[in-house]
Amino acid sequence: MTTALSLRNLRKTYANGFTALKGIDLDVQEGDFFALLGPNGAGKSTAIGIVASLVNKSGGNVEVFGHDLDTELTEAKSCLGLVPQEFNFNVFEPVEEIIVNQAGFYGIPRHEAFKRAELYLRQLGLWEKRRSMARNLSGGMKRRLMIARALVHRPRLLILDEPTAGVDIEIRRSMWEFMRRINAEGTTIILTTHYLEEAESLCRNIAIIDQGELIENTSMKRLLNKLHMETFVLDLKQPLARCPNIPDYRLKLLDETTLEADISKECSINQLFDVLTRQGIEVLSMRNKTNRLEQLFLHMVDGTEGSDRVSA
Amino acid sequence: MTLNEKFVAFKTILIREILRFARIWIQTVLPPVITTALYFVIFGNLIGSQIGDMNGFRYMDYIVPGLIMMAVITNSYANVVSSFYGSKFQHNIEEMLVSPIPNYLIVSGFVAGGVARGMTVGLAVTLTSLFFSDLQIHQLGIAISIVILTSILFALAGLINGVFAKSFDDISIIPTFVLTPLTYLGGIFYSISMLPEFWQKVSLINPILYMVNAFRYGILGVSDISLWSSYLIVVGFIAALFTFSLYLLNKGHDIRT
């Protein structure tokens, strides 16, 4: 299998002396949908900036589809598409022109660039806005414009740095579908996001960076298996005066009709319902208290919240 | 990138730059035409009629080449400095930095955009001058070559200013405090032979003097300066500024962290 992105001992120390990356080693395989997570200031955007040639590295090596950034920069750049965290287009240019110009920077002739611009603007629901100045787009439209721009030269590796930040849930879901589709069509995707539900839903593999170091690099499934306990919130039909005591389950009465239950992987939910039914407690509905990946993430980067629920 | 792809990339920057200043022509093309028309009316017509001939030409005819050159210089410079700094300010310079387009083409593209605006405004000012002066061209080749070279030179200077600029104030300091005084003292309105010998020698350190005089030679056939020293200085400055611009972009000065 081809390696889409390879980082070896990647280091970055800024001019003010701050070390953002302390020697990262990371491989992302071709065709993967890869999550790169970490708290604010962890070094994710620095790593992405180095790969995209926007940040000068202090040391180490970067290869994009086998092309070393130091020796085959042009080839490496041709394989890469970037959707940055911050809006970085000329807000005084029309939408279509932004896409066509970006294609031109990759040497794509203008007539072909217009065709591709139409294709991606239609796919991302921006075709009607093609003549609008970019400054007149909504936040969600601006994010989609940057995705269209990053795709216009058909990169083999697409890096999305918080592509759905500030986007409403409906548009976010449609963007997820779009990302899934282009990944299924063969584009390798690296995603950074603070919406952990997004990473859990989309990505097959995951790396977590904290304070410039890689603290996890595994498959999403394996990571989630580390979670030994899940918390559910049960909505009750009848109010309870006090919290029921059931062995092997940690229960907490949040209010008189809401019960919180910590359930370990060894125990079944059916068993809990049996006991509750026997005690005359009827459950109307049930939901996860928090996102599972979020629990793990907080444990890994903070070590406090949720730490009693995880064996790392 | 193949040669053809590089040409497409260069053309893309050029088209983008032309569309940028064309979109805001009321701010970019019209003001220099109005300003120069005022120069013609006030200095050329009203005051010039009292001055008499200069180097054998009517004063109005004498200042036409200098005023065209002044418009070309300021607009070539202004286009690149504002466009490059604007790209930095909005971070859309990153569109080019992530692409495989080589830095020398980025420099060339921005400079070509500056030359396009310089030539557009220069042509508009030339057409305006026809209302006031019976313009005869002495050597078309010299006039065109020196005006294009001068435009390239000041477009490069604008790019360097844009790279170093940290705020919008920084892009107006050089034009206001350096470029305009040097242009006014570059022999647009007078012949340096009118100055005392000491100030004639001081004037010779002003590079704009060489360009204005070479262009005046192309139009009128008179110059205070040797033509070849003008070409040498312009080409020398272009080589130096292009090398420096490329160095700044390769280093990523203020555009890469």
Could you give the ipTM of this predicted complex? 0.89
Question: What residues contact B147, with CB distance under 8 A and at least 6 apart?
Answer: B68, B69, B72, B118, B119, B122, B215, B218
- pLDDT higher than threshold 50 for residue A309: no
- How confident is residue A302, by pLDDT bands cut at 50, 70 and 90? low
Q: Does A74 touch chain B (CB under 8 A)?
A: yes
Mean pLDDT of A295-303: 68
- State the smallest CA–CA distance between residue A268 and chain B in angstroms: 52
Residue A249 has what pLDDT? 84
Longest pairwise C-alpha distance within chain A: 74
- Is 70 exceeded by the pLDDT of residue A304? no
Residue-level pLDDT at B184:
87
Is A21 in CB contact (< 8 Å) with chain B? no
The pLDDT tens digits of the residues spanning A261-270 come to 888 777 788 8
Q: How far is B120 from chain A (nearest CA, A)?
A: 21
- A77 close to B (CB below 8 A): yes
Q: In chain A, what residues touch B86 (CB-CB under 8 Å)? A: 90
* Bridge partners, residue A285, by sequence: A235
**A310 pLDDT higher than 50:** no
Q: Do A88 and B257 touch (CB under 8 A)?
A: no
Kindly tell me the number of DSSP H helices and DSSP E strands found in chain A: 10, 14
Per-residue pLDDT, averaged over A87-115, amounts to: 96
Q: What is the C-alpha separation between B72 and B32, in angstroms, rounded?
A: 9
Is B100 in contact with A104 (Cβ distance < 8 A)?
no
Mean pLDDT of A148-168: 92
Q: For residue B7, give how far its alpha carbon lies from the nearest alpha carbon of chain A (Å).
A: 7
Q: Which residue in B12, B92, B97 is closest to A104 by CB distance?
A: B12
pLDDT of residue A306: 40
> Which chain A residue shows the shortest CA-CA distance from B19?
A93
Which residues of chain A neighbour B2 with C-beta distances below 8 Å? 107
**Mean pLDDT over each residue of chain B, to the nearest integer:** 92
Q: What end-to-end distance do the CA atoms of chain B give, in Å?
A: 25
CB contact under 8 A, B94 and A88: yes
A57 with A11: CB under 8 angstroms? yes
Q: Give the mutation candidate from B99, B110, B248 for the A interface (greatest A CB count, under 10 A).
A: B99
For the ranges A35-49, A95-109, A277-291, which has the lowest average pLDDT? A277-291
B230, B213 contact by CB (below 8 A): yes
Look up the pTM and report it: 0.85
What is the pLDDT at residue A8? 96
Among A105, A108, A135, A154, the residue to mutate for chain B (most B Cβ within 10 A): A105
pLDDT tens profile B69-81: 999 999 999 999 9
Measure the CA angle with vertex B77, ends B229 and B75; round to 5°.
100
Q: Do B9 and A104 touch (CB under 8 A)?
A: yes
CA distance B93 to chain A (A): 8
- The neighbour count for residue A190, using CB atoms within 10 Å, is 26
> According to the model, what pLDDT value does residue A292 have?
65
What confidence tens digit (pLDDT) does each residue in A29-88 have?
A: 999 999 999 888 889 999 999 999 999 999 999 999 999 999 999 999 999 999 999 999
Residue B227: the pLDDT is: 92
Question: How many beta-carbon pairs below 8 A join chains A and B?
Answer: 93
Which chain B residue's Cα is nearest to A54? Answer: B256
Assess whether pLDDT exceeds 60 at residue B234. yes
SS3 assignment, position A30: coil
- pLDDT tens string B150-178: 999 999 999 999 999 999 999 989 888 99
Residue appearing with tokens 């004063």: B59
